[in-house]
A and B are shown apart, each in its own frame.
Chain A
């Protein structure tokens, strides 16, 4: 008696696979059973696959069979008790793109593999059978393809194509490689900025990074975190209430023509060369500029001046960079409300100033 196992997902909502492959390629089992041994097949699959139509179809199998619902323990016991696993694969695109999992599981479980149909498991060719006569002949000789002598070679093959650590390392390398490649490409590609992100008090670093990576302008204000390398940074000058705009080489070519002449050489916070534009202040800003801007936890005082500052900076951004749409990046609900237009509009992570 030859105990043969078939295991796996028996059905698919879109493709005819699983039990269908088993029945379609059952001729291999007929040939196996034509040898000196009776064949007893055990099928282990998911319950969903075992509808009446599927069970009725299994009646066409040429050998006696038993059906079991799949479980991890059940699969282990099945492999331990079977001489061979029958692994038929159809040549439909869905099936030929599959991994070697079932073959690896069967071989790792210590059973012979009898494959049929599409040679998906070709990478294990010397350890498996695709001809039932060859399996019968090897049984007669007492020397099967998977045996203690060949286990070491199989282990090496597993290391090469079926090692979980090896595979995950390769996957990680592949994904990182793609990321590096993409970054390099994005640096080369010159994008004309069409958006400006004007940062408020509570603005995430990624908002700044994404704006710059996508080639848009990231604009600092007197209330925004000072440690970021903005493309344009507005500062308030104490005493006068004037506004200074420090801009990098990415921003100044976009400055409106009639302001170009007023640019003065300067240095950005990072120390990189920059240009500075002095802008007149107004009454509301003068009062604010005289008092140093409060520290992070002084929320009430921030609230008092926030609206005036942000409105002023957004207005100046629009004025200085025509054709660019400005958005405020602010994640603090109270401050959004303080600008007077966020109330009642939900959490408002970003406020669009664009038409």
Chain B
């Protein structure tokens, strides 16, 4: 009997949705295999306003993926056993925050190939900055069989020796173009996009970092207001610092909490963010982007070297002016930066690599289940 194959996506953190979504669409379009969104009970708890649950339902409708909720390794195991295939997690490692996916990977039947995706440019276990190291250490490991990195192995300096052999460079799943999907519509007249990830461990360099960012942002907004301009503020999907802390935003700020894939990044004239993957997204989208760093320069921004850095409010204003005056030069500099990162950013190549990995994974697992006597035969031959 050939067990039925399936692709199971573990969804635990809210930001996982953005990472796995293109893969669900890709598999639905190219592979004849059922898909399951296995959602942790913690995800539902975190999704207080239901935005991401609605996104999952939308994905489920578009791709035919079933949605199941699990609250323990055992309940997840019951979705997996007696079948085979591929399990994908957007955030999985031996860190406490990833326990609910890590445990499922550890427990999963051997009839599955387990993939962990790099879920950000700077990402624990793949490419860490100094604050990641201070918070989590150097030895982040995975229960996955394959870890899917964004850039060439030499650039992923935080992949420890024991995990190196698992590394497969696929590029960011988020760059896969979804067939027939409508392009995100431009919904604002604001030229600027400011992103906050103030919850991030990367900003843990001083007690005044968050207020410093918000202070400069406020002054920048006043500057824009005088000129009759507005700006879009996008909080990190999981962090939601300005929302959770009820930060009062100036009147010319539009809060946009939509998933990133529903925002037309290319329509913005410029972007500003602390070190975050959104900086890479904007650079790839051809939008001039500045990386904010604290005034004392304590934050580790080395992985963004080559991009424009801003600190005080006057830098914000100057950068915005530069995006009008010297746009081409900035974009050229960003292209050079992207090249230096050795990120794989060719959508077609990323698509090909994921399809090959998941497709081959499915057939290898199905074949292994069909001929599942090698161990015992080998044993009798040795004996």
Q: Is the interface of B mostly helix, strand, loop or mixed?
A: helix
Task: Give the contacts of A61-109 with B (CB-CB under 8 A).
Answer: 62-64, 66-67, 69
Q: Please encode chain B, from 54 to 82, with 1 for each CB lying within 8 Å of some chain A CB and 0 for all others.
A: 00000000000000000011100100011
Knowing A56-B106, A56-B107 touch, does A30 contact B77 (C-beta < 8 A)? no
Confirm or deny: A182 has a beta carbon within 8 angstroms of a beta carbon on chain B: no
Mind listing 7 A-B residue pairs with CB under 8 Å?
Answer: A33-B379, A34-B376, A51-B74, A55-B74, A59-B110, A66-B82, A69-B74
Confirm or deny: A315 has a beta carbon within 8 angstroms of a beta carbon on chain B: no
Which B residues lie within 8 Å of A62 (CB)? 375-376, 379
Confirm or deny: A47 has a beta carbon within 8 angstroms of a beta carbon on chain B: yes
Which B residues lie within 8 Å of A53 (CB)? 106
Q: Are A67 and B81 in contact (CB under 8 A)?
A: yes
Q: Are A47 and B74 in contact (CB under 8 A)?
A: yes
Confirm or deny: A337 has a beta carbon within 8 angstroms of a beta carbon on chain B: no
Q: Please encode chain A, from 15 to 35, with 1 for each CB lying within 8 Å of some chain B CB and 0 for all others.
A: 000000000000000100110
Which A residues lie within 8 Å of B375 (CB)? 62
Confirm or deny: B348 has a beta carbon within 8 angstroms of a beta carbon on chain A: no
Q: Are B77 and A34 in contact (CB under 8 A)?
A: no
Q: Are A52 and B379 in contact (CB under 8 A)?
A: no
Confirm or deny: B104 has a beta carbon within 8 angstroms of a beta carbon on chain A: yes
Residue of chain B at shortest CB distance from A53 = B106
Give the docked Cα–Cα distance between A53 and B74 (Å).
10
Knowing A52-B106, A62-B379 touch, does A67 contact B77 (C-beta < 8 A)? yes
Q: Are B376 and A55 in contact (CB under 8 A)?
A: no
Which A residues lie within 8 Å of B72 (CB)? 50-51
* Contacts A50-B72, A55-B77 known; 9 new A-B pairs at CB < 8 A: A30-B379, A34-B383, A51-B74, A52-B106, A52-B107, A55-B73, A56-B107, A62-B375, A62-B376
Give the docked Cα–Cα distance between A38 and B373 (Å).
7
Give the docked Cα–Cα distance between A67 and B73 (Å).
13
Give the docked Cα–Cα distance between A64 and B82 (Å).
10
Q: Are A52 and B376 in contact (CB under 8 A)?
A: no
5 closest Cβ pairs, A-B complex: A55-B107, A52-B103, A52-B73, A50-B74, A33-B376
The number of chain A residues with a CB under 8 A from chain B is 19
A55 to chain B, nearest CB (A): 3
Task: Give the contacts of B100-118 with A (CB-CB under 8 A).
Answer: 103-104, 106-107, 109-110
Q: Are B103 and A34 in contact (CB under 8 A)?
A: no
Which A residues lie within 8 Å of B372 (CB)? 38, 64
Residues of chain B touching chain A, judged by Cβ–Cβ distance below 8 Å, are 72-74, 77, 81-82, 103-104, 106-107, 109-110, 372-373, 375-376, 379-380, 383
Give the docked Cα–Cα distance between A33 and B380 (Å).
9
Residues of chain A touching chain B, judged by Cβ–Cβ distance below 8 Å, are 30, 33-34, 38-39, 47, 50-53, 55-56, 59, 62-64, 66-67, 69
Which B residues lie within 8 Å of A38 (CB)? 372-373, 376
Q: Is the interface of A mostly helix, strand, loop or mixed?
A: mixed
Give the docked Cα–Cα distance between A81 and B109 (Å).
23
A142 to chain B, nearest CB (A): 23
Q: Are A66 and B104 in contact (CB under 8 A)?
A: no
Knowing A52-B73, A55-B74, A66-B82 touch, does A34 contact B106 (C-beta < 8 A)? no
Give the docked Cα–Cα distance between A63 and B107 (Å).
16
Q: Are A66 and B81 in contact (CB under 8 A)?
A: yes
Q: Are A50 and B77 in contact (CB under 8 A)?
A: yes
Residue of chain A at shortest CB distance from B378 = A34
Which A residues lie within 8 Å of B106 (CB)? 52-53, 55-56
Which A residues lie within 8 Å of B82 (CB)? 66
Which B residues lie within 8 Å of A47 (CB)? 74
A40 to chain B, nearest CB (A): 10
Which A residues lie within 8 Å of B77 (CB)? 50, 55, 67
Which B residues lie within 8 Å of A52 (CB)? 73, 103-104, 106-107
Q: Are B376 and A30 in contact (CB under 8 A)?
A: yes
Residue of chain A at shortest CB distance from B373 = A38
Q: Are A63 and B110 in contact (CB under 8 A)?
A: no
B2 to chain A, nearest CB (A): 13
Give the docked Cα–Cα distance between A62 and B383 (Å).
15
Q: Are B81 and A63 in contact (CB under 8 A)?
A: no
Give the docked Cα–Cα distance between A53 and B103 (Å).
8
Which A residues lie within 8 Å of B107 (CB)? 52, 55-56, 59
Residue of chain B at shortest CB distance from A61 = B110
Q: Are B73 and A34 in contact (CB under 8 A)?
A: no
Which of B74, B81, B109, B379 interacts with A34 by CB under 8 Å? B379
Which of B73, B104, B109, B373 interacts with A50 by CB under 8 Å? B73
Residue of chain B at shortest CB distance from A34 = B380
Which A residues lie within 8 Å of B81 (CB)? 66-67
